[in-house]
Amino acid sequence: MEYRRLGRTGVSVSELCLGAMMFGDWGTKDHDESVRVIHRALDAGINFIDTADVYSGGESEVIVGKALAGGRRDDVVLASKAHMPMGEDLNQRGNSRRWIVREVENSLRRLGTDWIDLYQIHRYDPDTDIDETLGALTDLVRAGKVRYLGHSTWPVSAIVEAQWTARERCRERFVCEQPPYNMLVRAIEADALPTCARHGMGVIPYSPLAGGWLTGRYRKGTESEGPFSAARRRLANRFDLSLPDNQRKLQAVERLAELAEQAGMTLIEMAIAFVLRHPAVTSAIIGPRTMDHLESQLSAADIELPDDVLDRIDEIVPPGLTINPAENGWVSPALQPAARRR
C-alpha cells in the first residue's frame, strides 16, 4: 500500500480509502461482520476511513466507532460528512452554522471519538453563504473537534469561491474535494481536477466501480439480476436499463471488460487503478459490503496501468465524458426545469 499527501497538508493517507457507506442498514446489517471488514482493511495498510452522518441514519458511524475502539483510533485518518437530511425538520440538514455545530457533536458521539480528522460538507448549498459555512467549520477546527476541512461533489465555481473566501476572511480552507469519478463518469477531468490541482487540494474520488457497474455484475445477459440494496434503489436512474444512457453504459462495460481480460487483470483492478493513475487523485474510496468485496479490491493497489491500456480506455469513454449525466452528482438549481428562463 502506497501513501500520498492529502493536498498541501502534512498528513499522509493510503491510496485506497475505506468507504463505510455499506456498513449498516444500507448494506451489511451485521455489525460484527462490518467490524471484521474494517479490521482487515486496516491490517492491509489502509489508514483512511470515510463515512457520513447520513449513511444508514448514523449507523455507519456507530460501526466505525466500534471498529476503532480499543486503541486503533490514533492510527486512522477518520473522515465524516454533514449536509444531507437527518430528520424531517428543515433545519436538520444543510450547511448552516446552526446545523454544522450541532451535527458535528452527533457524529463525534456516534464515532466514539474526540476529534474528526477530515470533516466534509457533503454537498454544495447555493442558498447558504460560504462564509457562514467556513466560519462554523473554522471554529470547530480551533476548538480541536475537527482537524481539516473538505467538501464533496462541489461545482468548480464554488470550489474556487470557497478558496477565495478562506483567504479573504482568514478562514480555514478546504483541503480536499470528494467527487464521483470512474471510467464511466469522467466529467471532473475537464475542470474540477485541474482546479483542485491549481489550489493544492487533495482529491478523494468515490464510486471508482460506478456503483457496481465496473465489477462485472452488469453484463449482457445478466443485467436484470438483483437483489438491489436500499442505497441502489434510491438511485434508480443510474441502474434502470430501460434508459438509453444506461444501455450505452452497458455497451461500454462490455468493451472495458474485454480490455481488462486482454491486459491480464480483473475489471475491478483496472477500474480502481484507472482512478489512482490520475496525477490529481490522492486516494480512491472503495466501498466494500463484504469481505470478498474488499479482497477483490485490495489487489488494485498493486496494478500499474500502462499507457496503451489508458489509451484504449480513452477510446471507449473519451476524457471528460460522463455517459449518464445523472451520475455527475450535482446539478445547479438554475438548470432545473422550474427555474429555467423561457
pLDDT of residue 227 exceeding 50? no
User: Please, which residues have CB within 8 angstroms of residue 311's CB and are 6 or more apart in sequence?
Assistant: none
On whether residue 284 sits in a domain, the answer given is yes
Selection from 82, 11, 81, 80 nearest residue 47 by Cα = 11
- Cα angle value 188/190/196 (rounded, 5°): 60
* pLDDT tens digits along 21-52: 999 999 999 999 999 999 999 999 999 999 99
Grid cell listed for 32: 460484527
Instruction: Note if 55 is an active site residue.
Output: yes
The residue-averaged pLDDT of 313-333 equals 93
- Active-site option among 55, 119, 148, 218: 55
Residue 241: the pLDDT is: 84
Grid cell listed for 21: 457507506
On whether residue 166 sits in a domain, the answer given is yes
| Helix or strand holding residue 267 (H, E) | helix 267-277
Selection from 139, 72, 73, 77 nearest residue 104 by Cα = 139
pTM: 0.94
Residue 145: the pLDDT is: 98
Alpha-carbon torsion 134, 140, 144, 146, what sign? negative
On whether residue 342 sits in a domain, the answer given is no
Residue 73: the pLDDT is: 97
Q: What is the CATH number of the domain that holds 164?
A: 3.20.20.100
* pLDDT tens digits along 92-103: 999 999 999 999
Domain that holds residue 170: 3-330
pLDDT-derived band at 338 (thresholds 50, 70, 90) equals confident
Alpha-carbon torsion 71, 74, 80, 82, what sign? positive
On whether residue 335 sits in a domain, the answer given is no
CA atoms of 101 and 96, how far apart (whole Å)? 9
CA atoms of 296 and 154, how far apart (whole Å)? 30
Rounded to a whole number, what is the distance in angstroms from the first to the last CA of the chain?
A: 53
Buried (b) or exposed (e) across 296-327, using 16+ Cβ within 10 A? bbbebbebebeeebeebbeebbeeeebbbebb
User: How many other C-beta atoms can be found within 10 angstroms of the C-beta atom of residue 230?
Assistant: 10
Residue 219: the pLDDT is: 73
pLDDT-derived band at 222 (thresholds 50, 70, 90) equals low
On whether residue 222 sits in a domain, the answer given is yes
Domain count, the chain: 1
* pLDDT tens digits along 97-152: 999 999 999 999 999 999 999 999 999 999 999 999 999 999 999 999 999 999 99
On whether residue 339 sits in a domain, the answer given is no
On whether residue 76 sits in a domain, the answer given is yes
pLDDT of residue 233 exceeding 80? no
Q: Are 326 and 243 in contact (CB under 8 A)?
A: no
Q: Is 23 helix (H, G, I), strand (E, B) or coil?
A: strand
pLDDT of residue 282 exceeding 80? yes
* pLDDT tens digits along 63-80: 999 999 989 999 999 999
Q: Are 178 and 83 in contact (CB under 8 A)?
A: no
| Helix or strand holding residue 118 (H, E) | strand 116-121
More confident: 255 or 227: 255
Task: Give Cα separations from 126 to 123, 138, 289, 325 (angstroms).
Answer: 10, 19, 33, 20
On whether residue 267 sits in a domain, the answer given is yes
Residue 32: the pLDDT is: 97
